[in-house]
Amino acid sequence: MSEMRFDGRVVIVTGAGGNYPSLGRVYATYLAGLGAKVVVNDLGVGPDGKGVQRAHADVVAKEIVDAGGEAVVDTNSVADEESASAIVQTAIDTWGRIDAIVNNAGICPMTAFDEYTSSDVRKVIDTHLMGTIWMCRAAWPHLKEAGYGRIVNITSSAMWGGRYLALYSAAKAGITGLTYTLAIEGEPVGIKVNTLGPTAGTTAGTYLNEESEWTPLIFKNFRAEQVAPVVAYLAHEECSVSAKYFETAGGRVWQRYLTETKGYTNPELAIEHVRDHLEEIMDREAATAMDDPIVLANSPMMSYKPRPYVRS
C-alpha cells in the first residue's frame, strides 16, 4: 500500500486549538504527521462560544513543532469576513501558498428553540455557516489561480434534525448545500469540495452534555483519531471525489446521499390529489438515488446562464 503524504502542502484547520481529545486538534496533528504545513487556527473561546472552556492554538502548534512538524498559530475569527481573509493570509505570508482547508470551527449551545437568545442565533450561524462561507471565499482565488485545491467542510448528521440543536442543525444543513454548489463551480478549476459528518467522544461533547453511563463507551469506541484519516483523505491530492457527503464513526466510513420516491403524477394536479395519493407520494419501495450534484449541474436541463450580475 503506497503511503499518502502531504509534503510541501499547506493546510488550514480552523477550530484546531481544543483540549485533547478535540477533533480539530487531532486533524491538525495528524495532517502535520503526514508532512503538511499546518495553520492551527482557533479563536480560543471553546465549544460553547463563551470562553468557559477555552482552546489554545499555541499549545497545539507547539506540539506539532516539538514532534518535528511545521505549524503556525492563527487566532483570527472565521465569523468575520476580514478575519477569515487574515487566516488565509497567514498561510500565504508564512509559506506562500494554500492547498487545503478543513472548515472545522464551530460552537454549539444546546437548548430548546424558544430559549435561544438572539445572540446565540447570530453566534452559531456566523461561526458555522458564515465562517465556512468566509473561509471558502478567502481561499477560492488562491486555489483557483493554482488550479488545485481541497476543501473539507465539517457538517453533522444533526443536519437531519436533533433535539436541542435547532441552530446547529440549520447551520450544518446550510454548509452541506454550500458544499454541493462549490463542488460544481470548483470542478473545472481543479478544486474538490466535500463534507464530512464525524462522530467521536470529545471534550466538547462532555462539556455540552451531562455525562451518563454511555460516556465511557463513547470515548472508548468512537475516538477522534479514527476520524482524522477520513479528513486527511478528503484533503489529499489523491482524493478523487467531490460534492460528496460522508460520515464516519468508530472506524467505519460511509456515504449518505439523497433519494427520491417515484411519487404521483397528474398534469391536472389539485389539492385533493395530494391528499388522496399521499401514501403513494411517500412510498419508499421504488425510491431511487438522485444524481450527484455535479452530474445534475451538467445535465441539459441545468445548462442555463444567469443574466449579467449587477453588484449592489
Q: Which residues contact 258 (CB under 8 A, 6 or more apart)?
A: 289, 290
> Are 38 and 28 a contacting pair, CB within 8 Å?
yes
In sequence order, the 6+-apart residues with CB closer than 8 A to the CB of 54 are 44, 45, 46
**From 27, 30, 164, 168, the catalytic residue:** 168
Active site residue 168: yes
Q: Locate 61 and state its grid cell.
A: 502548534
Q: CB neighbours of 220 closer than 8 A, spacing ≥ 6? A: 201
Cβ atoms 91, 2 nearer than 8 A: no
Please list, in sequence order, all residues whose beta carbon lies within 8 angstroms of the beta carbon of residue 99, skipping any fewer than 6 positions away.
6, 9, 10, 11, 143, 146, 148, 149, 150, 237
Q: Which residues are catalytic?
A: 168
